[in-house]
Amino acid sequence: MPNGNNLMKNILIIAFLGSISLLLQQTCYAKNKLASGEMLLAEQSITSENGNYTLIMQGDGSLVMYRKGGTVRYRMAKHGTFAIMQTDGNFVEYVGNTTNPDNAIWSSGTAGVAQWPPYLYIDNYGDLSIISTNSSGSMTFSVWGIGQDFDPASTTNIETLQPPGPPPQGKPILPYRPDVDNSANNNMYPRY
């Protein structure tokens, strides 16, 4: 018959192994989500449950969403070091190390929008979205997303976010309005 110390050690070991097993099951189950505070480092990814879409932080710093066939579904036109689903609800791509990032180079612009800890979610239809819940947890809703992939076999349905370009040049073309005097000297004032 084992003594009390050995029995207690065995119970603790079994409890510890059970906790690790449960944690691994939860991690595998949640591979289509990036929880609040979690990061994507180089070569890390999340994948839709059906395996048709994967968002990966590539080794070259590109954050890209691929279709199962290898075509690009969505990409941020930046080259960062890591991406994080921040606790404030903003999904951000940074340059620098994780403890002291140099600067944000892209963000979803959703800081403060989510009520409760949000998460980044990749669904079976190709939508990458930030999901939040109401205070009771009874309702979930999207606060940002790229939308469903309506042509998953396509190689042309690619959306790329580009930094804003230069401001427009010249005067805008104003439409003809009958209530406005359109003469050369007086084209901005309504006629009464």
- Taking only the tens place, the pLDDT of each residue in 156-171 is 555 555 545 555 555 5
| pLDDT over 70 percentage in the chain | 64
Cβ atoms 86, 35 nearer than 8 A? no
Q: Please tell me the predicted confidence (pLDDT) of residue 64.
A: 94
Q: Please tell me the predicted confidence (pLDDT) of residue 44.
A: 96
Per-residue pLDDT, averaged over 175-187, amounts to: 51
| Secondary-structure percent of the chain, ordered helix, strand, coil, rounded to 5 | 15, 30, 55
In degrees and rounded to multiples of 5, residue 165 shows phi and psi of -85, -170
The Cα 124–Cα 16 span in angstroms is 34
> Is the whole-model pTM more than 0.75?
no
pLDDT at 26 over 50: no
CB contact set of 39 (below 8 Å; sequence gap of 6+): 82, 83, 84, 85, 98
Q: Please tell me the predicted confidence (pLDDT) of residue 23.
A: 41
pLDDT at 9 over 70: no
Q: Please tell me the predicted confidence (pLDDT) of residue 79.
A: 87
pLDDT at 151 over 60: yes
Per-residue pLDDT, averaged over 134-152, amounts to: 88
- The tens digit of pLDDT for each residue in 89-136 reads 999 999 988 887 778 999 999 999 887 889 999 999 999 999 998 888
Q: Please tell me the predicted confidence (pLDDT) of residue 92.
A: 94
Torsion sign, CA atoms 54, 60, 62, 66: negative
Name the residue with higher pLDDT: 7 or 17.
Answer: 7
In degrees and rounded to multiples of 5, residue 124 shows phi and psi of -70, -10
